[in-house]
Amino acid sequence: MPALKRLAISVGDLNGVGFEIILKAHNVIKHLCAPLYCINYTMAHQAANLLHRQIPNDFQIFNVSGEFTIEAGKVSAQSGQYSYDSFIAAVELAKNHHVDGIVTLPIHKEAWMMAGIHYVGHTDALRDIFQSDAIMMLGCEKLYVPLYTEHIPLREVASHIQSDKLTSFLLQLYATTSHKPIAVLGLNPHAGDHGVLGDEERFIESAIESANHHLGKEVFIGPIVPDIAFTPYFRERYSMIAAMYHDQGLAPLKALYFEEGINVSLGLPIIRTSVDHGTAFDIAYQNKASILSYKNALSAALKFIDSKKES
């Protein structure tokens, strides 16, 4: 049998549900890949004890130094720093080709801020580390939603709708997914109603035309009216819908496919996938967390690894 692909797993915020998910899923995912958990045994045993679980005998770790007292459901600088250190350890393993890809468990943005980490999340950090315009895409096999803008205030979104930047985004999206057709949402209600409710759609339309002209085929369709784009009619026709801002795409996506969704970073020299949920502090260490998104993230990482090798 061929050797299993090696995946580095960053453990996320240890005050949340990440380590519970890791322990629950280990006996399932070890048959799919060779997981390498970025944590040290002291922290792993502390988390396992809180969950009244044992660390499996075949649990392989990559040591990430640091110790603190886990406090379930609490936002803390120490937990934020450790989640960042675990993430960076996983990235370095992938950069140096010690693993085939990485899967990240959820971090808490405020905890990162309290720890003095200036990134607002994994994707933001990955862009800086690799000097790449990585695209954040969330979803599942039924529907993927790439985001043109992500973690910025809503009041700033309109100023980011520029034809040249959006054209580059669309071309990179196609280059990294080869998906077609891709629906592109408008920004305003009713997609602006021909300028009555806003005129940003003229930039979106221009970018769509430019990207399709560059590709020599009709890949991108739109701008689509946002409030009907996630109805069954459109989902039957488009399994990828590009959103202009975070909640425009993710609110309906999570209403439809919350537990099974994943997060993918496109356009990087490494493979990175993640769960599509947060730290769930409200149920931390209560053995209530679902492992479905984590399993899907692992499976997606393995598919991306295979497709990258084929290309």
**Cβ count near 56 (within 10 Å):** 12
Total domains in the chain come to: 2
Q: In the numeric block, which tokens belong to residue 257?
A: 């496919």
Helix (H) or strand (E) holding 56: none
Distance (Å, whole) CA 14 – CA 281: 10
Within this chain, do residues 225 and 278 fall inside the same structural domain, yes or no? no
Output the pLDDT for position 179. Answer: 94
Which residues touch 85 (CB under 8 Å, ≥6 apart)? 64, 65, 66
Output the pLDDT for position 258. Answer: 84
Output the pLDDT for position 229. Answer: 97
Question: Quick one: residue 3, left, alpha or beta (phi over 0 = left, psi -120 to 50 = alpha)?
Answer: beta
Distance (Å, whole) CA 63 – CA 37: 8
Distance (Å, whole) CA 271 – CA 263: 11
Within this chain, do residues 260 and 302 fall inside the same structural domain, yes or no? no
Within this chain, do residues 3 and 122 fall inside the same structural domain, yes or no? yes
For 31, 135, 211, the CA distances from 171, given in Å and listed in that order, are 36, 11, 6
Distance (Å, whole) CA 311 – CA 238: 24
Distance (Å, whole) CA 273 – CA 302: 10
The reported pTM is 0.88
Output the pLDDT for position 310. Answer: 60
Within this chain, do residues 40 and 165 fall inside the same structural domain, yes or no? no
Q: In the numeric block, which tokens belong to residue 288?
A: 């209530």
Distance (Å, whole) CA 117 – CA 105: 17
Within this chain, do residues 29 and 155 fall inside the same structural domain, yes or no? no
Within this chain, do residues 167 and 188 fall inside the same structural domain, yes or no? yes
Within this chain, do residues 278 and 218 fall inside the same structural domain, yes or no? no
Output the pLDDT for position 1. Answer: 63
Within this chain, do residues 223 and 291 fall inside the same structural domain, yes or no? no
Within this chain, do residues 143 and 88 fall inside the same structural domain, yes or no? no
Q: What CATH number has the domain bearing residue 233?
A: 3.40.718.10
Within this chain, do residues 218 and 300 fall inside the same structural domain, yes or no? no
Which domain covers residue 29, as residue numbers?
1-132+268-311
**Sequence-separated contacts (24+) of 117-123 with Cβ below 8 Å:** 117/80, 117/81, 117/84, 120/151, 121/150, 121/151, 122/87, 122/263, 122/265, 122/272, 122/274, 123/150, 123/265
Output the pLDDT for position 306. Answer: 86
Q: In the numeric block, which tokens belong to residue 18?
A: 């990440």
Output the pLDDT for position 157. Answer: 96
- Give me the tens of pLDDT residue by residue for the chain, a chain 311 residues long: 678 999 999 999 999 999 999 999 999 999 999 999 999 999 999 999 999 999 999 999 999 999 999 999 999 999 999 999 999 999 999 999 999 999 999 999 999 999 999 998 999 999 999 999 899 999 998 999 999 999 899 999 999 999 999 999 999 999 999 999 999 999 999 998 888 889 999 999 999 999 999 999 999 999 999 999 999 999 999 999 999 999 999 999 999 998 888 999 999 999 999 998 999 999 999 999 999 999 999 999 999 898 776 65
Within this chain, do residues 251 and 299 fall inside the same structural domain, yes or no? no
Within this chain, do residues 128 and 150 fall inside the same structural domain, yes or no? no
